[in-house]
Amino acid sequence: MKENIDSTQSFDISINVPHQTSYECFDDDGRLKRTGNIWTASAHIITAVIGSGVLSLAWSTAQLGWIAGPTVLLLFAIVTYYTSSLLATCYRSGDPDNGKRNYTYMDAVGANLGGFHVKLCGAIQYLNIFGIAIGYTIASSISMMAIERSNCFHSKGNESPCRVSSNPYMIAFGVVEILLSQIPDFDQIWWLSIVAAVMSFTYSTIGLGLGIAKVAENGIIKGSLTGISIGTVTETQKIWKSFQALGAIAFAYSYSIILIEIQDTIKSPPAEHKTMKKATLVSVSITTVFYMLCGSFGYASFGDKSPGNLLTGFGFYNPYWLLDIANVAIVIHLIGAYQVFCQPLFAFIEKKARTIFPYSGFIAKDINVPLPGLKKMYRLNLFKLVWRTVFVILTTVISMLMPFFNDVVGILGAFGFWPLTVYFPVEMYIVAKKIPKWSTRWISLEILSGACLIVSICAGAGSIAGVINDLKVYKPFKTSYY
């Protein structure tokens, strides 16, 4: 019977051993003491937030212009911070300091809203995670191709065709993720988040530096107050691309889907929601400054011709080695970010499988595998090995079928922003704090939710229009870049 109990449940058994000082080793729920703090939480958030989304911000600013572009960025930052603070208070049910813990986003929705909301939240959250895995696979392959093309341009000249296929790079990324996906739990990837966060600052800083250098080289600040001009695009294209830009910016701030899971790694006291709010403020502030600078200097450098991906669109050609470093940093960051986002989905499926098949040796039994040079044993679970491998293979194949970076980013941002970043946090907060219906605060929160719904609908429409346009000249598994 013991072999059918997972590692999480085994913590509950150990506290019943005589003379066990649970208050020293265990939290109030019987699980091992959490060790996370404001800095590890910030690292997780930065890893999740400063992702491939930052690379499309110059293009997004170009669609909206000097007035609307920075304004929209700032508004998304404010909304994300505010709704994330609301969500953080829902980690514990009842008393935010000592109430019952909710280990996942779905647990929080179930405790506060219940019923249909739980199924709806789960479907949206895990579909969004699945989509993010696809988006990160696409983005990483584009960066790996950019390294090859950068070296090609350096040796053969900027006008050389330098044709490169994305498929081998997507497969390579998938192989790495298959290996890393075997990391057992979310709280064991803190080191990967820190590495990824450092990488995100590295390539964002390089992109910013190249943008500043380009503006200095041009001697002028390009762009206009209203964005890309009619004539360069049609009026209809202007509208759709502006909507798509909203989706790309929304994607750049998307991390609420794993906020509760991050909060569940934080030690207390102080209360987890207090630490999480501080970590959110630190992280969103830092990322917004980077976003503003990268988006603005990218647009100032290229104006209407701002590339969809700042570091791989080859507005910059030199110094080629610096571009290579930036793109290597992007790949390393996305490798870590993929795991940060996917671990909650992995945990959910594995928990469901154990619930449905509690006596299955394939699902519940762990095999101790010795690690060369280490005294520790790796606990191999065959179900985790098979299902996580299948998941990575599936996301890789879909990425090879639909490698449209900007459109995928826009769709993901539109699909996940309103329900996960705004609607559920607002509704849970209203229930948790027992805010009276039609009170001033209730009306304000609902107006915020309604406005964000309209933004999501517009962003989704623009991104879908972009995908339809791309499909007109698309051939499956034959994607290459010139």
* 327-338 pLDDT tens trace: 888 888 888 888
The answer to whether residue 403 scores a pLDDT higher than 50 is yes
Q: Where residue 426 falls among pLDDT bands split at 50, 70, 90?
A: very high
Identify the residue whose tokens are 């791309």.
470
Please write the tens of the pLDDT for every residue from 100-136. 888 888 888 888 888 788 888 888 888 888 888 888 8
Per-residue pLDDT tens digits for 167-186: 888 899 999 998 888 776 65
Q: What is the mean pLDDT of residues 254-266?
A: 80
* SS3 (DSSP) at 482: coil
Amino acid symbol at 340: V
Two structure tokens written together for 25:
């080793």
Alpha helices, H only, 3-56: 7-14, 22-25, 38-49
User: In 129-245, at which residue ranges do the beta strands (DSSP E only) sit?
Assistant: 164-165
pLDDT in the model for residue 447: 94
Q: What pairs with residue 36 in β-bridges? A: 266
Q: What average pLDDT does this structure show over 259-268?
A: 82
User: What are the residue ranges of helices labelled H in 303-439?
Assistant: 320-356, 361-364, 382-401, 405-416, 424-432
Predicted confidence (pLDDT) per residue in 27-76, tens digit? 666 677 777 788 888 877 777 666 556 777 888 888 888 898 889 989 98
pLDDT of res. 473: 62
| Residue 352, amino acid | K
Reduced to 3 states (helix: H, G, I; strand: E, B; else coil), residue 233 is strand
Structural tokens at position 372: 């060369």
Q: Answer whether residue 444 shows pLDDT above 90.
A: yes
Q: Using one digit for the tens of pLDDT, what is the confidence trace for 333-354?
A: 888 888 877 887 888 888 888 8
Q: Cis omega (within 30 of 0) on the bond before 269?
A: yes
Q: What is the model's pLDDT at position 19?
A: 44
pLDDT tens, residue by residue, 387-400: 889 999 998 988 88
Instruction: Assign 93 to helix, strand or coil.
Output: strand
Q: Which pLDDT score, from 0 to 100, does residue 440 have?
A: 92
Closest residue by Cα to residue 247 from 404, 455, 31, 395: 455
Q: How far apart are CA 7 and CA 214, in angstroms?
A: 53
Helix (H, G, I), strand (E, B) or coil at 422: helix
Most confident of 366-380, 450-464, 467-481: 450-464
The pTM of the whole model exceeds 0.95: no
